[in-house]
């Protein structure tokens, strides 16, 4: 089962994603970070296969954390999650920085799982 690190400052979004992943039986959540800085630390501690990370967070935003994470860890696959994915510039910035995909909010369980299965 693939290990997933969730990164989102919103309690309800993290819980929503956790539920989708738990119910799939294909992914398990190994940790939850509330900002980009915590994500960098928890990635080193838990060595997840996948990181699902929000873009807009306090302390350190998702794109800044993405840049650091992919420079330190070439194995982990990062998927960004945002309500701004339909803004082409934001989507492309994430992809150019090394995100494997971008999930749109509001989430649809099947779309989330399909994106993670493709990794």
Q: How many CA atoms lie within 13 A of 77 on its CB side?
A: 13
Is 103 an interacting residue with respect to other proteins (CB under 8 A)? Answer: yes
Buried b (16+ CB within 10 A) or exposed e, 54-81: bbebeebebbbbbeebbeebeebbbbbb
> Quick count: other Cβ atoms within 10 Å of Cβ 89?
8
Q: Out of 15, 26, 44, 72, name the contact with other proteins by CB under 8 A.
A: 15
CA distance 69 to 84: 21
CA distance 85 to 104: 6
Is 84 an interacting residue with respect to other proteins (CB under 8 A)? Answer: yes
Size of the site for other proteins (CB under 8 A): 35
Is 58 an interacting residue with respect to other proteins (CB under 8 A)? Answer: yes
Which one of the spans 4-12, 26-34, 37-45, 65-73 is the region binding other proteins (CB under 8 A)?
Answer: 4-12
Is 16 an interacting residue with respect to other proteins (CB under 8 A)? Answer: yes
Residues forming contacts to other proteins in the complex (CB under 8 A) are: 9-13, 15-16, 19, 56, 58, 82-89, 91-92, 95-96, 99-106, 108, 111, 114-115, 118
């Amino acid at each position: 089962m693939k290990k997933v690190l969730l990164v989102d400052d919103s309690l309800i979004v993290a819980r929503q994603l956790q539920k989708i992943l738990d119910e799939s039986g294909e992914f398990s959540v190994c940790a939850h970070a509330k900002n980009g800085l915590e994500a960098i630390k928890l990635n080193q501690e838990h060595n997840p296969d996948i990181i699902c990370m929000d873009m807009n967070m306090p302390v350190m935003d998702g794109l800044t954390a993405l840049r650091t994470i992919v420079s330190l860890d070439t194995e982990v696959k990062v998927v960004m999650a945002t309500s701004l994915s339909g803004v082409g510039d934001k989507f492309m910035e994430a992809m150019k920085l090394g995100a494997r995909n971008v999930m749109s909010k509001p989430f649809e369980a099947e779309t989330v799982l399909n994106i993670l299965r493709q990794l």
